[in-house]
Structure 1
Amino acid sequence: MNKQDLVNVVAEAADLPKAKAGDVLDAVFEAIEKALKNNTEVRLVGFGTFSTSSRKAGTGRNPRTGEEIAIPATTTVRFKAGKGLKDAVN
C-alpha cells in the first residue's frame, strides 16, 4: 500500500474528500516527524510507538577494496508495534 492508497482508504472510511484526507494524513505525518526531531516519543495506544535511537560512530570496510572507512554517528527512527496491531496481524 502506498500513500495514495492510504488516502483513498481514509477518505472512504471517514467520508471525506480525497484532498481533505490527504491533508489530514500529511498533518499526522508532520506531527510525528516534528516530535521525533525533538527526541519525543510518539505513542499510539493499540498501534505502536515511534522513537529515536542514536548510533555511535565507528569504522567499517569497503567490501570492494578492503579499505577502512569512517562511519559517522546517526540518529535512526525505531517503531515498536503495539499489542492491538500485533493481535490484528496474527
Structure 2
Amino acid sequence: MQLSLVHLQLELHMKEEKEDIQIRWSYIHMPEVTIKVQPRALGEGQVGETNAISEALKDILKHLVSSASLSVILSTKPTDMKEAQNL
C-alpha cells in the first residue's frame, strides 16, 4: 500500500496537568489524499477479484486516515540545576 498526501495539515493542542504534558494532534481531512493498493502477485483469474478487494481496501484506508486521532503524553519531573547541566 502507498499513501500519498499532496498537503498535510495538523492541529496541535497542548494541555498541562501537574507534571505531565499531554499533546494531542489530529489529521485534518484533505481531499487530495491518494491511496494506492497494489497486490504483490496475481494468479490467473484473480485480477477481477483483486481489483474489487483493492477498491474496498482503499475506501477503508481513506476512512481510517481521515478519522485518525493521535496523542502522546510527556512526563516531566522537577530537577535541580546540577542534574539539568549533566543532561
TM-score range normalised by the length of the shorter chain: under 0.3
TM-score by length of 2: 0.28
TM-score by length of 1: 0.27
Structure index of larger Rg: 2
| Greater share of helix | 1
